[in-house]
A and B are shown apart, each in its own frame.
Chain A
């Protein structure tokens, strides 16, 4: 007779799997749990069961009844739940939102650069954007005849006051104020007399770097630039240094990173060279040390520059610098 219990169980499992709505659930209840349902009918068979099996038959039937009851209740509850939700609110409608604040992309990139250099033990320094000729040129060993001083390239306020053309004057201010050791970066806005186009803006943003100490070497400069490249763009980025010329450094270098788009394979953006020019660097020229009263025999130092706008353009694949300053919400809200 225990076979009979197993038959009911199998039939129930089959029936419950095809229940789709409340009506068919009710049919299920009547079929198994109703007064004339399968379970009740099975109990009526009890007298025909042999006496020695009667106890286990009763127990088995009760267990099955409880199980069916549970499954029925669970399914009923779930039907009620769904009907209430779908019946009252549309969960797919957008949520209630306020305005979202965001950093300007150049700030995001500058923050990343500052984080990296603070991690290397650099401080962040600052200086005025309207500068004297002394800080912007003279103390940096840039002679009066240098083409950078031309009215064609530099914006002047008076003959002796300029809109700084680079962040290098901050080097001079910090060295005048502090004794070595110095390890600092100076991010900020700079100005050139350039007509705006896709790759030029009359104002843009640079980071200056400077380290001065008793044992600061060209090898340290190469190391810090390489470490920066890895942190900023990834460990597969190579760095290349080429000799160059700047009045305020000697030896001087241009440094390139392997192209961040093709990772050095060569592509359209890097004109198939695999390299992207980043900026200049070098060892602080003894004349610069002399201008701020640091003894070049005792101390050595390195300095480097980089363009925040340029790095942001590389990072996000932006091909027009003017986008940063147009402040189009469709652009700004992408960052």
Chain B
């Protein structure tokens, strides 16, 4: 909301300069977002006298003028028709700097030199559009700096951010009331004396019937006759323009002026257009149509408050007037409405209509139901004064159930308890009374314009803000809290993250909203869709972290950063069920692509393959204390490549997949190189982590090593052989692994040779060769039977 500094001075004689006042208002909760000077800075413009005006020899519309700043004379070309000898004018000399970054230079216009410019108000940034130059009304001293002259009368527009709980401060008087409360100075309301301007003729009262008393608890109407429609005075137009309201004519401007002054929206009807001179307030009927002031036909939402005459609707109550009854240049008599509408009803209709106005913004937040006559009187008085209207003596005011001021419990000690302060009771009372509240017997009576004060706690804020938050105590409590239990998985996530970082992976953050086509590729169940997405790119909640990671890969690979080691930890969204929140477990995912080692003079040039991602997952799982996990071949159709994917299992649960991302999927994401990855469900995983398992003792005796090369069918998985060896070898076999794999012409076709190393060790003694060989030969024999394996010679 915009109000000028000088306007506030109409109601209260404060001393503060515009900047100090803005600070004070910000400190009590009315944030001044911007202070705009009315006079934009300019320089090099002086008061000059036009000495001689003659016609330009080569241009009909131009004149050649001689102007003097008291010391020197200048020749200047002027195109304005209103320039005349003898005028005192603002003269921009060569080198002057005007608003809008406009510099004055020496010029030659149609062959004649011009040294400067005689300025209009527009050129000095004082009005939007000027018809000609600006001859001063006064004879200012010649050569005086025009900006300095104007700056003495400088005014400032405050652009306030008014929080939605304070509709009373969407007005000049509302803000002035706050200044009164801060400064303790008296508030001087506008003097409205109707007794001298009411008409002596007796006229019938306008008839008002409220059918919808829920939507409209109070409606007043009065008539002002024989108004002279014309422009409103300059000072009123300037103030309205400063507020961002376009002046229209004196009657409309007066209703807008009083709106900005009191915060009470008013509406002026052309009485001639009100059929039967009668007002009926009712709710709209289904699919009722109405043409508003802005010439748009609108279908009204049901139960919109409508202002009607005997035959038809003439305004949407509290939102906008109708085209059929607006004040025009031929209007003679005015019916002036001042009413109170129920906030929720206005909010509902305004939102449904998609129509918001200065009036609706105030009504939907709440105006003062008991302040409407004051505003009506003020507007009527202005219409008499500025439009020569005659005010009918009587006013119709339909107000069946009076809205009474609220009473709130008042306990000063409660206020101090919340604020952690020790403010004396009489100080608190003074502060609250300064706001117009009255206190008696442990209760506070709140004037009806303060719609935000409804509970005891609200009084604490009033006291706090008037004292200034900065002046309230600040306390650093030192208290050990050992009794609070942390229930989130935050520490687990941090632990997992650290382990992933130790593996050399870069963390990324990706959008949890995906394009539907992207999400579908990774979805097992039903998509979780957004009802009102921002764009087609963000319609569906991610069912997996992999699409986001693939996008991160694409982004970098397409910018020639083709080696990627990425991971993300975040929520994924699965298992949507009607009327229940979807499951939103934490997941972690890793993708790798490009070279196996960073590009360097001494690193081999190799690209990653399946065994790289498997190595990552093995290292990771071994570090996070996951008990009893194993891998099985995963061969279903999915976003993972068939034949290069394993499932990570613990017990009966699959906690994730690991392997090559399907090449079609990778290409879908605009990546043209292989990508490997794995994804784990952390919520599932968490149940199998055993971070407090006891340590295993270390064997103190040397081990004996035996190697063998087993020739088996290519289809036999190595892991099957290794686990068979482990079972067969018993507890003295403490290590076994494959150290070489051979397939080729030195062994029969369809076979592979696995070189397996075994280490035997006892906790109690050094094993003899005999003991070791006994187990070793048993393993060879059993493997031979189990896998039709032979030893490679």
B-binding residues in A (CB < 8 A): 93-94, 96-104, 106-107, 111, 114, 121, 123-126, 128-132, 145, 147, 150-151, 155-159, 161, 163, 174, 177-178, 181-184, 186-187, 189, 191, 193-195, 202-203, 215, 217-220, 222-224, 226-227, 240-245, 250-254, 283, 285-287, 296, 300, 324-330, 332-333
**Neighbouring B residues of A145 by C-beta, 8 Å:** 343-344, 347-348, 364
**Neighbouring B residues of A191 by C-beta, 8 Å:** 513
A326 CB → nearest B CB, Å: 6
Q: Is B532 a contact partner of A151 (Cβ separation < 8 A)?
A: yes
Instruction: Give me 16 other A-B pairs in contact (C-beta within 8 A), A97-B603, A126-B490, A217-B475 excluded.
Output: A93-B602, A94-B602, A128-B584, A129-B512, A129-B584, A145-B343, A156-B532, A182-B484, A202-B538, A218-B460, A220-B477, A223-B474, A242-B469, A245-B163, A286-B457, A327-B509
Closest to B489 in A: A126
- The count of chain B contact residues (Cβ–Cβ below 8 Å) is 96
CA distance A136 to B469 in the complex (A): 28
Q: Is A283 a contact partner of B418 (Cβ separation < 8 A)?
A: yes
Given A103-B501, A217-B417, A327-B508, also A124-B486 (CB < 8 A): yes
Q: Is the interface of A mostly helix, strand, loop or mixed?
A: mixed
**Neighbouring A residues of B529 by C-beta, 8 Å:** 157
Q: Is A203 a contact partner of B417 (Cβ separation < 8 A)?
A: no
CA distance A102 to B502 in the complex (A): 8
> Of residues 429 to 456 in B, which have CB atoms within 8 Å of A's CB atoms?
452, 455-456
Given A107-B507, A300-B417, also A193-B570 (CB < 8 A): no
B356 CB → nearest A CB, Å: 11
Question: Does B230 belong to the interface (CB within 8 Å)?
Answer: no
Question: CB-defined interface of B494-532 with A at 8 Å, one 1/0 digit per residue?
Answer: 100100111111111111110000000000000011111
B445 CB → nearest A CB, Å: 20
CA distance A126 to B470 in the complex (A): 32
Q: Is B470 a contact partner of A241 (Cβ separation < 8 A)?
A: yes
Q: Is A327 a contact partner of B474 (Cβ separation < 8 A)?
A: no
Tell me which of B166, B348, B555, B571 contacts A328 (CB under 8 A).
B555
B223 CB → nearest A CB, Å: 35
B202 CB → nearest A CB, Å: 45
CA distance A103 to B165 in the complex (A): 42
Q: Is B601 a contact partner of A93 (Cβ separation < 8 A)?
A: yes
Question: Does B28 belong to the interface (CB within 8 Å)?
Answer: yes
Q: Is B552 a contact partner of A327 (Cβ separation < 8 A)?
A: yes
Closest to B476 in A: A223
Tell me which of A98, A131, A132, A327 contacts B556 (CB under 8 A).
A327
Q: Is A101 a contact partner of B470 (Cβ separation < 8 A)?
A: no
**Neighbouring A residues of B584 by C-beta, 8 Å:** 128-130
Question: Does B534 belong to the interface (CB within 8 Å)?
Answer: yes
CA distance A123 to B470 in the complex (A): 28
Q: Is A156 a contact partner of B531 (Cβ separation < 8 A)?
A: yes
Question: Does B297 belong to the interface (CB within 8 Å)?
Answer: no
**Neighbouring A residues of B238 by C-beta, 8 Å:** none
Given A101-B501, A101-B503, A245-B166, also A325-B510 (CB < 8 A): yes
Closest to B493 in A: A126
Q: Is B472 a contact partner of A222 (Cβ separation < 8 A)?
A: yes
Closest to A161 in B: B581
Tell me which of B164, B348, B476 contacts A227 (CB under 8 A).
B476
The 3 closest A-B pairs by CB, nearest first: A217-B420, A219-B420, A243-B29
A to B CB contacts below 8 Å, 25 in the list: A94-B601, A100-B504, A101-B505, A101-B565, A123-B484, A124-B486, A124-B488, A126-B489, A130-B541, A130-B584, A155-B533, A174-B487, A202-B511, A218-B460, A226-B476, A227-B476, A242-B27, A242-B31, A244-B29, A245-B166, A245-B452, A296-B457, A326-B555, A329-B561, A332-B506
**Neighbouring B residues of A150 by C-beta, 8 Å:** 351
What is the count of residue pairs linking A and B with beta-carbon distances less than 8 angstroms?
Answer: 247
Given A194-B534, A325-B509, also A219-B475 (CB < 8 A): yes
Question: Does B485 belong to the interface (CB within 8 Å)?
Answer: yes
Q: Is B418 a contact partner of A217 (Cβ separation < 8 A)?
A: yes
Closest to A324 in B: B509
Question: Does B705 belong to the interface (CB within 8 Å)?
Answer: no
Residue from B477, B564, B581 with most neighbouring chain A CB atoms (10 Å):
B477
Q: Is B460 a contact partner of A251 (Cβ separation < 8 A)?
A: yes
CA distance A189 to B542 in the complex (A): 14
Given A245-B163, A250-B461, A327-B566, also A218-B29 (CB < 8 A): no
A294 CB → nearest B CB, Å: 14
Question: Does B483 belong to the interface (CB within 8 Å)?
Answer: yes
Question: Does B244 belong to the interface (CB within 8 Å)?
Answer: no
Q: Is A241 a contact partner of B581 (Cβ separation < 8 A)?
A: no
Question: Does B598 belong to the interface (CB within 8 Å)?
Answer: yes
Question: Does B26 belong to the interface (CB within 8 Å)?
Answer: yes
Q: Is A183 a contact partner of B484 (Cβ separation < 8 A)?
A: yes
Tell me which of B473, B484, B504 contacts A98 (CB under 8 A).
B504
Closest to B595 in A: A99
Q: Is B508 a contact partner of A101 (Cβ separation < 8 A)?
A: no
CA distance A223 to B420 in the complex (A): 11
CA distance A125 to B485 in the complex (A): 10
Question: Does B458 belong to the interface (CB within 8 Å)?
Answer: yes
Tell me which of B344, B457, B504, B510 contacts A101 (CB under 8 A).
B504
Closest to A226 in B: B474
Question: Does B559 belong to the interface (CB within 8 Å)?
Answer: yes
Question: Does B573 belong to the interface (CB within 8 Å)?
Answer: yes
Closest to A240 in B: B470
Q: Is B455 a contact partner of A286 (Cβ separation < 8 A)?
A: yes
Given A245-B165, A330-B561, also A223-B477 (CB < 8 A): yes
CA distance A125 to B503 in the complex (A): 28
Q: Is A125 a contact partner of B486 (Cβ separation < 8 A)?
A: yes
**Neighbouring B residues of A101 by C-beta, 8 Å:** 500-507, 565
Given A243-B469, A251-B460, also A98-B488 (CB < 8 A): no
Question: CB-defined interface of B598-624 with A at 8 Å, one 1/0 digit per residue?
Answer: 101111000000000000000000000
CA distance A173 to B513 in the complex (A): 24
Question: Does B130 belong to the interface (CB within 8 Å)?
Answer: no
Given A99-B598, A181-B481, A245-B164, also A202-B26 (CB < 8 A): no
Q: Is A250 a contact partner of B457 (Cβ separation < 8 A)?
A: yes
Closest to B580 in A: A161
Q: Is A97 a contact partner of B490 (Cβ separation < 8 A)?
A: no
CA distance A96 to B602 in the complex (A): 7
Tell me which of B351, B464, B474, B602 contacts A243 (CB under 8 A).
B464
CA distance A219 to B483 in the complex (A): 23
Tell me which of A111, A126, A156 contacts B530 (CB under 8 A).
A156
Q: Is B488 a contact partner of A243 (Cβ separation < 8 A)?
A: no
**Neighbouring B residues of A182 by C-beta, 8 Å:** 484
Given A121-B481, A202-B513, A241-B469, also A102-B507 (CB < 8 A): yes
Q: Is B497 a contact partner of A155 (Cβ separation < 8 A)?
A: no
Question: Does B480 belong to the interface (CB within 8 Å)?
Answer: yes
B246 CB → nearest A CB, Å: 26
Q: Is B465 a contact partner of A243 (Cβ separation < 8 A)?
A: yes
CA distance A32 to B535 in the complex (A): 91
**Neighbouring B residues of A329 by C-beta, 8 Å:** 506, 556, 561, 564
Question: Does B652 belong to the interface (CB within 8 Å)?
Answer: no
**Neighbouring A residues of B417 by C-beta, 8 Å:** 215, 217, 300
Question: Does B193 belong to the interface (CB within 8 Å)?
Answer: no
Question: Does B234 belong to the interface (CB within 8 Å)?
Answer: no
Closest to A177 in B: B487
**Neighbouring B residues of A125 by C-beta, 8 Å:** 486-488, 490
**Neighbouring B residues of A217 by C-beta, 8 Å:** 417-421, 475
Given A132-B581, A241-B469, A243-B469, also A98-B507 (CB < 8 A): no
Given A240-B470, A250-B460, A327-B556, also A104-B507 (CB < 8 A): yes
Tell me which of B505, B511, B530 contacts A155 (CB under 8 A).
B530
Q: Is B31 a contact partner of A332 (Cβ separation < 8 A)?
A: no
Question: Does B597 belong to the interface (CB within 8 Å)?
Answer: yes
CA distance A193 to B532 in the complex (A): 9
Question: Does B86 belong to the interface (CB within 8 Å)?
Answer: no
Closest to B491 in A: A124
Closest to B601 in A: A93
CA distance A314 to B718 in the complex (A): 54
